[in-house]
């Protein structure tokens, strides 16, 4: 089964109202961490083997998954022996590995530190703070039909993000710029498929995946793109959280499960 690595170690300073007590991927939408929502998206496509790349407050993530069953399932306990009889099963058939990739490690370094867990096959990679109704199966198909070592999902989000410069068929990334009308202002949406060769383009803990690594991939003609014209929303601020919360109660465009 293809593994899904998830970046979950940043400080989330622009969401400090929440992240002073928990890492940003653990900020809740509809009573569940946003990371849970992303994992549900992948699980919908049969991808259930997750490698969480933790750092800042990684103990919060560890505690969440260690106590996952206790929080959700009815049980009977024999207090004298401590024996627990679970009265129901957990709905999520997931395998979750939680790694501490360092408090100050950059995104590229976090991915490289997980090399021993990712193996020698293609793997998915995701940010732990954005949701979408992206077709993960089509993303994977697009990647495997290309010669890319990394394929990102290009999404439309006007405003403050730096735009991607894409080829005419929108299947390869040629560069980055602050704004771009010709390519519809598409940006990196944080859903990737990668080959193990990509890891060799990460020097160490100080390497920023979105800068040095992607620029090297572009220079080698190995950074592909999958254009997604549907729903996408990141959670970078308290306002974004409020938008996602409202959307969840209105039907959640990303809830494909």
pLDDT in tens, 135-191: 999 999 999 999 999 999 999 875 555 678 888 888 888 887 655 444 457 899 999
Q: How far apart are CA 185 and CA 17, in angstroms?
A: 30
pLDDT given at position 182: 47
Can you give the pTM of this predicted structure?
A: 0.89
DSSP state of 77: E
pLDDT given at position 1: 85
pLDDT given at position 106: 96
Q: What angle do CA 34, 36, 39 make, to 5 degrees?
A: 115
Number of domains in the chain: 1
pLDDT given at position 205: 96
Average pLDDT of the residues in 191-212: 96
Average pLDDT of the residues in 52-64: 96
β-bridge partners, 4: 50, 124
Average pLDDT of the residues in 24-37: 96
Q: Terminus-to-terminus CA distance in the chain, angstroms?
A: 19
Q: Report yes or no on 59 lying in a domain.
A: yes
pLDDT given at position 163: 72
More confident residue, 193 or 22: 193
Q: Report yes or no on 256 lying in a domain.
A: no
| Burial degree of 161 (CB within 10 A; 0-12, 13-18, 19+) | middle
pLDDT given at position 19: 73
The contacts of residue 157 (CB under 8 Å, 6+ apart) are 185, 187, 189, 232, 234
pLDDT in tens, 87-139: 988 889 999 999 999 999 999 999 999 999 998 999 999 999 999 999 999 99
Q: Report yes or no on 144 lying in a domain.
A: yes
Q: How far apart are CA 148 and CA 224, in angstroms?
A: 5
Q: What is the mean pLDDT of the chain?
A: 91
Instruction: Name the residue range of residue 15's domain.
Output: 3-249
Q: Report yes or no on 239 lying in a domain.
A: yes
Of 10-19, 90-99, 135-144, 243-252, the range with the lowest mean pLDDT is: 10-19
H or E stretch covering 187: strand 186-194
pLDDT given at position 7: 97
Q: Report yes or no on 110 lying in a domain.
A: yes
Q: How far apart are CA 50 and CA 252, in angstroms?
A: 23
Pairing outcome for strands 163-166 and 173-177: antiparallel
Average pLDDT of the residues in 4-15: 86
List the one residue out of 159, 187, 156, 154 whose CA is nearest residue 169. 154
* CATH code for the domain in which residue 54 is found: 3.90.550.10
Q: Report yes or no on 124 lying in a domain.
A: yes
The contacts of residue 75 (CB under 8 Å, 6+ apart) are 84, 85, 86, 87
Question: How many percent of the chain have pLDDT more than 70?
Answer: 93
Q: Report yes or no on 9 lying in a domain.
A: yes
List the one residue out of 188, 190, 210, 212 whose CA is nearest residue 201. 212
């Amino acid at each position: 089964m293809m593994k899904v690595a998830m970046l979950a170690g940043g400080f989330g300073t622009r969401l400090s109202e929440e992240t002073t007590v928990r890492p940003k991927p653990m900020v809740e939408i509809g009573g569940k961490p946003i990371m849970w929502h992303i994992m549900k998206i992948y699980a919908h496509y049969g991808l259930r083997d997750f490698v969480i790349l933790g750092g800042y407050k990684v103990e919060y993530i560890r505690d969440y998954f260690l106590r996952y069953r206790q929080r959700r399932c009815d049980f009977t306990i024999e207090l004298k022996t401590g024996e627990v009889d679970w009265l129901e099963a957990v709905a999520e058939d997931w395998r979750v590995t939680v790694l501490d990739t360092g408090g100050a490690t950059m995104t590229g370094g976090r991915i490289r530190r997980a090399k021993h867990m990712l193996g020698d096959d293609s793997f998915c990679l995701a940010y732990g703070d954005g949701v979408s109704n992206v077709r993960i199966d089509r993303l994977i198909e697009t990647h495997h039909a290309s010669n890319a070592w990394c394929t990102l999902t290009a999404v439309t989000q006007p405003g403050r993000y730096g735009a991607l410069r894409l080829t005419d068929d929108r299947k390869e990334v040629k560069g980055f710029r602050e704004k771009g009308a010709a390519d519809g202002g598409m940006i990196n949406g944080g859903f990737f498929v990668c080959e193990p060769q990509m890891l060799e383009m990460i020097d160490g803990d100080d390497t920023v995946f979105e800068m040095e690594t992607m620029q090297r991939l572009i220079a080698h003609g190995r950074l592909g793109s999958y254009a997604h014209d549907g729903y996408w929303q990141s959670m970078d601020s308290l306002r974004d959280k409020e938008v996602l919360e409202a959307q969840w109660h209105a039907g959640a465009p990303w809830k494909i499960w």
